[in-house]
A and B are shown apart, each in its own frame.
Chain A
């Protein structure tokens, strides 16, 4: 059982290019999340999905889009990358926002550098 996988592990990207970060979970969790982690700023929520077919905006959604076609996959797309999107991106999932715990489980992260 892999839990949550992310791909790629790392990527260097030219500014202006389009990039999709992939996230797949095998825990049948309803909710999925994308965070970015920057030094001194902690983790900031980009987008989330409470269940397949629905998505919502987090704290820092500009420049990013997501889709949730099924339970397992939650890709994050940068339509036209800019250097300020250089960061480490974490995908996470949780059972349900209404469950008692709603404990989040995190993927290994994608280190993205935009030049």
Chain B
């Protein structure tokens, strides 16, 4: 059974600092997703990672995937207040009957 764990679950950081959110999963997967959710809003797709070593960047956010370690990271560079949100990773197993399983989310609070 596929399990997805994110850490930390809550992160408070100063503007200008760098930090990394980790997403570990328990079984083989070839598709990993990162989403952002603002308070009271829906989920917005950030990145789709499809292969080992995949790296994608958008602004101050960079996501990477290591399928051998079953680990994805979301790195925040020089954080700004606008990045405050909850970030979810989600994983799809390789079996075609598998469904996308979400982590519990990392609530990121960036202090001005």
Contact = CB atoms under 8 A, between A and B. Distances in A.
Interface of A: 33, 35, 40-45, 48, 58, 90, 92, 97-98, 100-109
Given A58-B99, A100-B50, A103-B33, A109 B104 contact: no
A101 B54 CA distance: 13
A90 B48 contact: no
Interface residues of B, number: 21
A37 B57 CA distance: 27
Give the interface SS of chain A, mostly helix, strand, loop or mixed: loop
Contact of B103 (A42, A102, A106): A42
B31 interface: yes
B21 to A, nearest CB: 14
A103 B99 contact: no
A96 B96 CA distance: 11
The 8 residue pairs across chains A and B that have the minimum distance between CB atoms: A42-B104, A43-B102, A106-B43, A106-B42, A42-B102, A108-B42, A42-B105, A101-B48
A104 B42 contact: no
Contact of B99 (A45, A100, A105, A109): A45
Nearest to A45: B99
Nearest to A97: B96
A58 B42 CA distance: 20
Nearest to A3: B42
